[in-house]
Amino acid sequence: MKTLFIGGIKSGKSRNAEEYIQQHTKHKPVYLATTEFIDNEMQQKIDEHKKMRENRFITVEEALNLKEKIELQEGAVLVECLSMWINNMLYHEKSYDDMLAELSLVMQLRQDVVFVINDVSCGVIPENRLAREFVDINGRLAQFVAGECDAVYHVVAGIATQIK
């Protein structure tokens, strides 16, 4: 089963996705963290998130190759988060087609996967080209993943509403 949690920044989507995957699996789920270490501030955020998860998850870190890491796992996988993964892919000069191909392969895997992605569709149009490209790709890939998933939840103010 594939499930998507989408919402704005600090909407509660990650917490809801974590609770969801723990309720829907018999074994300790894998937390596939996509954030790349960039600077000390990012490292501090990564450390805080690890501490918050405690021992409820098996943490695996991978910034680019989702399929490769997910297919190695025995149980359910929480991908946190696709927006950061898109950011990483753009930083490493990967195209939309590269990202779509990778996610298409992930959707074919046998593992149950819960995805988290930011909803960037309600903001203003960014003034710089790279930010516009990110918003465009994030929105298009969110649509693709939502279309492929069995269930989709929209999260606002910590409340998840199933929309598919």
Distance CA 103, CA 132 (A): 21
Q: Which residues are catalytic?
A: 49
User: Collapsing DSSP states into helix, strand and coil, what is residue 157?
Assistant: coil
Q: How far apart are CA 92 and CA 34, in angstroms?
A: 14
- List, in sequence order, every beta strand (DSSP E) within the chain: 2-7, 30-33, 58-61, 77-80, 113-118, 151-156, 159-162
Instruction: Calculate helix-pair angle for 96-107, 82-91, nearest 10 degrees.
Output: 140
> For residue 140, which phi and psi values (nearest 5 degrees)?
-65, -40
- Is residue 158 within 8 A of residue 16, CB to CB? The reply is yes
- The amino acid sitting at 125 is I
How many CB atoms are closer than 10 A to CB 76?
Answer: 21
* Residue with tokens 């917490």, as numbered in its chain: 15
